Amino acid sequence: MFTAYTADQIRTAERALMATLPEGTLMRRAATGLAAVCAALLPRVYGSRVVLLVGSGDNGGDALYAGATLTGRGAAVTAVLAGSRAHEAGLAALLAAGGRATGHSAAAFSPGGAAAPRHGDALVTHETAVWGGGGDADEARRAVERADLIVDGLVGIGASGALREPYAGLAEAAGRAAAPVVAVDVPSGVDSSTGRVEGAAIRAAVTVTMGARKTGLLVDPGATLAGRIELVDIGLGPYLPDPDVTALTRASARGLLPRPAAESDKYRRGVVGVAAGSDHYTGAAVLAVGGALNAGAGMVRYAGPARPAGQVRARWPEAVVTELDAPDVDAVGRVQAWVVGPGLGTGEWARELLRRVLATDVPVLVDADGLNLVARDVSLLRRTAPVLITPHAGELARLTGTARGAIEAAPLAHARAAAAELGVTVLLKGSTTVVAEEGTPTWVNGTGTPWLATGGTGDVLSGVAGSLLAQGLGAREAGACGAYLHGLAGRIAAAGAPLTAAGVAEALPAAIRELNEIPAASQR
Ligand SMILES: NC(=O)C1=CN([C@@H]2O[C@H](COP(=O)(O)OP(=O)(O)OC[C@H]3O[C@@H](n4cnc5c(N)ncnc54)[C@H](OP(=O)(O)O)[C@@H]3O)[C@@H](O)[C@H]2O)[C@@H](O)CC1
Ligand SMILES: [K+]
């Protein structure tokens, strides 16, 4: 399982650790790890052109020390100093090793200028040499364009708000450059605690994060901009509090996934009820049942009107189908969990069926039209057995009266607020899916693929998570594990091309197989 933390949590832990160590120890550890990742990305360190984008804080210090190490291995390293100051000892180390530095703003760095840094003679000599010719901005731009590798040390966990100039312009220049970008700790422009991006931001091939993952690296848009994440151990572990968010790894998803025991029969493996579909929306019923069947439930009972019932029967002969004449689930038989809502419609009939399902004493997953009905009357959610709701941003907007755009910009905060306000577990669908429950770390899931953003995949997910609820997982675990499996199945179904929701349901067994096949050695 991955854990991640907010900037405040990291800072507190770092302070406690730092108090036990000689000054500079943590940054040296961080920079050593950073240099190793950079070196591994270069076909050959010797002779490579490495550009460091260096801000005024310790994030820039990490980059400068790593640059010194790479210089020592024969790389031609140029530091572009973007701030009104730079980490003094780090810059001195780079220059002493033979690296170069240039200021993005000539005014800020010209020797003897008002804001001239005092980094010792080496810098002054060097400044004269580099800035004797043209403008610093041109020099910086050319260096970025020609680089083999760019290291983003503009800002880390000390950043606040959108990147200011010249940082923003440098981030954009790095985005246009051909070279891969290694972000130090967090891609600059991404809020390390939330994943929010307010303006220009670095798009990294790799993010080398120090001590522990930051929440913003696991939540979109930050997660997408972070690329591959490499964690450098600087000894922070014992000082970390409970995580802000967690994410399943393959091994931990496998650990959660229910497995039939030798003595299992179909009832003991979990029976899930699916109340979905209407004369208008028959496909939602077929897809939700498909998700439930392929995610390992012992049995799926479908309950709905004649038309969708006929289609479910035709597509999934394994499902036990009850054609409903009235909105009532009494005659359906015992289930361990219900899925209600996909394609249900929002009329009086649908509302009554939803009410009856929620009046049972088993866990219920509410999705799609079920959520639209709940939006008109949230008191429907008042019950003692667990409720897992699975909205996308638009559905959550209707449910909580928040603007959709606001939810999309800050999914973590809004999922948490809704979980607290409604007293249920909230699985908020999106490019990263968030599963929030009050009082526990929030799960985030990034196994999905953009190809999953297509009609019907949400219906499959409701079946998958409902199936896991019926197999005995708690609402939070069913949501997290369901999102993980669904994302993995989406990747398998897509394989780099468009997918269909039915294809995702069919790829679920392959996803489960892939989870179960991982070698024990790769468990984390
Ligand atoms: N602590 C430790 O033990 C360890 C820390 N480590 C490393 O230190 C990093 C944190 O360093 P940090 O605290 O110095 O902050 P950091 O992110 O470099 O920059 C903050 C400065 O940037 C500026 N700035 C802010 N917002 C801005 C904006 N929007 N646009 C433009 N500029 C902006 C602002 O400067 P100002 O503008 O005030 O001059 C502010 O002071 C951390 O991420 C990790 O990499 C590792 O070495 C491991 C050990
Ligand atoms: K950075």
The string of DSSP codes covering 143-209 is HHHH-SEEEEES-STT--SSPPTTHHHHHHHHHHSSS-EEEESS-TTB-TTT--B-S-----SEEEE
- What is the reported pLDDT for 263? 72
In the numeric block, which tokens belong to residue 204?
A: 């990294």
In the numeric block, which tokens belong to residue 358?
A: 């929620």
- What is the reported pLDDT for 147? 98
What is the DSSP track for 278-292?
-SS--HHHHHHHHHH
Residue 33: strand, helix, or coil? helix
Distance CA 302, CA 305 (A): 10
On whether 59 is known to bind a ligand per the annotation, the reply is: yes
- The ipTM assigned to this model is 0.98
Strand partners, 214: 5
What DSSP designation does 380 have? G
Cα 195 to averaged position of ligand 2 atoms, centre (Å): 13
Strand partners, 10: none
- What is the reported pLDDT for 69? 98
Residue 470: strand, helix, or coil? helix
- What is the reported pLDDT for 129? 31
Given ligand 1 and candidates 69, 87, 88, 155, which is best to mutate, with the most ligand atoms within 8 Å of its CB?
155
Query: What residues line ligand 1, using a CB cutoff of 6 Å?
Result: 14, 18, 26-27, 30, 55-60, 62, 83-84, 155-164, 167, 184-185, 210, 234
Cα 31 to averaged position of ligand 1 atoms, centre (Å): 15
- CATH number for the region 270-516 comes to 3.40.1190.20
Burial of 40 (0-12, 13-18, 19+ CB in 10 A): exposed
394-426 confidence digits (pLDDT tens) = 999 999 999 999 999 899 999 999 999 999 999
Cα 52 to averaged position of ligand 2 atoms, centre (Å): 10
| Index of the ligand 1 atom closest to the CA of residue 31 | 47
- What is the reported pLDDT for 113? 36
On whether 167 is known to bind a ligand per the annotation, the reply is: yes
On whether 392 is known to bind a ligand per the annotation, the reply is: yes
Residue intervals in the chain for CATH 3.40.50.10260 = 2-245
- ∠ Cα 309 311 313 (to 5°): 70
Which residues of the chain are modeled with pLDDT < 70? 104-135, 518-524
In the numeric block, which tokens belong to residue 102?
A: 């240039």
Cα 88 to averaged position of ligand 2 atoms, centre (Å): 18
- What is the reported pLDDT for 135? 62
338 within 8 A of 303, measured Cβ to Cβ = no
In the numeric block, which tokens belong to residue 180?
A: 């891969």
Distance CA 213, CA 358 (A): 39
Return all residues near 377 (Cβ < 8 A) that are at least 6 apart: none
Distance CA 118, CA 521 (A): 51
| Index of the ligand 1 atom closest to the CA of residue 157 | 43
Cα 5 to averaged position of ligand 2 atoms, centre (Å): 16
Residue intervals in the chain for CATH 3.40.1190.20 = 270-516
- What is the reported pLDDT for 244? 97
- What is the reported pLDDT for 111? 39
**Other beta carbons less than 10 A from residue 401's beta carbon:** 7
Calculated CA dihedral for residues 341, 481, 301, 360, nearest 10 degrees: -60
On whether 389 is known to bind a ligand per the annotation, the reply is: no
Amino acid at 408: E
- What is the reported pLDDT for 140? 87
On whether 162 is known to bind a ligand per the annotation, the reply is: yes
Q: Where are the alpha helices (DSSP H) in 339-410?
A: 348-358, 369-376, 393-400, 404-409
226 within 8 A of 183, measured Cβ to Cβ = yes
Fold of 2-245: Rossmann fold (3.40.50)
Given ligand 1 and candidates 14, 59, 185, which is best to mutate, with the most ligand atoms within 8 Å of its CB?
59
Given ligand 1 and candidates 157, 213, 232, which is best to mutate, with the most ligand atoms within 8 Å of its CB?
157
Of all ligands present, the nearest one to the C-alpha of 165 is: 1
- What is the reported pLDDT for 130? 32
Strand partners, 190: 197
- ∠ Cα 262 266 271 (to 5°): 130
Residue 110: strand, helix, or coil? coil
